[in-house]
Amino acid sequence: MADVSGIFAARVWLMTSPNSIPNSAPSAADSLLRIDDTRTAFAHRSTPDLHRAKWMFGLIGSPQLVRLGAGAVRLALRLGIPMRWALQPVFDYFCGGEDIQGSLGTAQDLSAYGVQTILDYSAEGQTGDGALDAARDQIMSTIVTAEGDDRFAFSVFKVSALSDNDLLEKVGAGAHLQPEEAQAWQRVEQRVSELCAAAAEKQVPVMIDAEETWLQGAIDTLAESMMQRHNHGACRVFTTAQLYRHDRLAYIHRLEELARSEGWIAGVKLVRGAYMEKERDQAAAQGRPSPIQPDKAATDRDFDAALDFALDHLDHLHIVCGSHNEKSTLKLAEGMRTRGLQPDDHRIAFAQLLGMSDNLSFNLTASGFRAAKYVPYGPLKEAIPYLIRRAEENTSVGGQTSRELELIRQEIKRRKAAQ
């Protein structure tokens, strides 16, 4: 085994920089992984790029502007008013391109710094077999593109891109299906099955995203059966657990137990969860208890507990830490170090979204960890819901945008001073 301590020790004396920001207060883990090194974080961005990003994050940092902007874009789309000029800079920052070919440049740029790409087809809300089959074909192309190419780490899909949501909801609820619904469900299973089989055959691990609780029951069943089928000896299929749900830590425990008893590997992408407000509203509207944790601290506690649990059960549980949270990222890195694991242990990966938390992705790979970016792609028009969500999420999670902005400002300042 390579001398891991060397990799970490080299960083022991690197302290957080004097202009570091409060959220990254020094800790044991800071001494091994610099997450406030903006030079490394933004080495792949030109200075004009950074100025554009500063301007953009300044705009989306304001909840009022985002609300107004999102409304205006939706209205313009309905009225057929061209919005490309306004959306292009945002698209360029958060998306790889309009198709796979157009995204290869981004994959190349990232890989120059050891950051791998997860091509993420961004079209959403499709219905009808034609569109669902087309989505399956698109996702298949991402798997084929990634085969044997180490610029790519994983592939990914959302089951809702392959099924009507109503059907997913019915299946999840165990409702009786009409014969044509049962046939439609078989076609959904077939699409999922084809993608997972290709991922296994081409050795491009695939992550199945987590969605709203009313869709997730059916997604869990599909994901579990795919893991049972393909994760023998290697982990090719990953499900996703949202730790903002109060039942998901126990679910991860059960999944690991099942995998261990049956001799396969559970692959879990750990995330906090993206649909909190929607979940709470829906539960309130239906008069049922919310599936979401009572507060952020409870979500953070379960997320970090899931990291610890995984670190102690890596024989049958492999993880992708899908998070922009600096404390959790440092906690996982530190947990690996204290257990004597190599930073590039194949059972653990970190992932962030393109255009966000570059300070994590690029500093992680600079320290030898495995980090990858979701690189969404698709026609600009179809990526709009994704872009609006990015902007809304950035304002609603409180702080992420100002964090991005602060890091960009620091790097611009650093470059100016260095000139």
Residues making contact with ligand FAD (CB under 6 A)? 209-210, 240, 242, 244, 271-276, 292-293, 295-296, 299, 322-325, 351-353, 374, 397, 400
**Is the Cβ of residue 45 or residue 373 nearer to ligand FAD in the bound state?**
373
Smallest separation, CB 182 to ligand FAD (Å): 27
Whose Cβ is closer to ligand FAD: residue 145's or residue 323's?
323
106 close to 97: Cβ distance less than 8 angstroms: yes
Residues 373 and 360 sit within 8 Å (Cβ to Cβ):
no
Structure tokens at 76: 């313009």
Give me the residue label for tokens 């809702």.
Answer: 160
- Is the distance from CB of 205 to CB of 237 less than 8 angstroms? yes
41 within 8 A of 407, measured Cβ to Cβ: yes
Residue 211 to residue 241: CA distance in whole angstroms: 10
d(CA 276, CA 409): 30
* Residue 50 near residue 408, CB atoms below 8 Å: yes
Q: Smaller CB distance to ligand FAD: residue 184 or 336? A: 336
| 249 SS3 class | helix
Is-contact 167 185, C-beta < 8 A?
A: yes
Residue 372 beta carbon to ligand FAD: minimum distance, rounded to whole angstroms: 8
Kindly tell me the burial class for residue 80, based on how many C-beta atoms sit within 10 Å of its own C-beta (0-12, 13-18, 19 or more).
exposed
Beta strands in 174-307 (DSSP E): 206-208, 237-242, 266-271
| Closer residue to ligand FAD in complex, CB, 138/242 | 242
- Helix, strand or coil for residue 242? strand
DSSP H or E stretch at residue 359: helix 358-366
- Closer by beta carbon to ligand FAD, 83 or else 274: 274
What is the C-alpha separation between 326 and 32, in angstroms, rounded? Answer: 13
Question: Taking the complex as a whole, how short is the minimal distance between the CB of residue 386 and ligand FAD, in angstroms?
Answer: 12
Q: Which is nearer to ligand FAD, 168 or 184 (CB)?
A: 168
Nearer to ligand FAD, 180 or 295 (CB): 295
From the CB of 213, what's the least distance to ligand FAD, in Å? 10
Rounded to an integer, what distance in angstroms lies between the CA atom of residue 200 and that of residue 185?
Answer: 22
Residue 169 is which amino acid? E
Closest to ligand FAD by CB, 143 vs 184, is 143
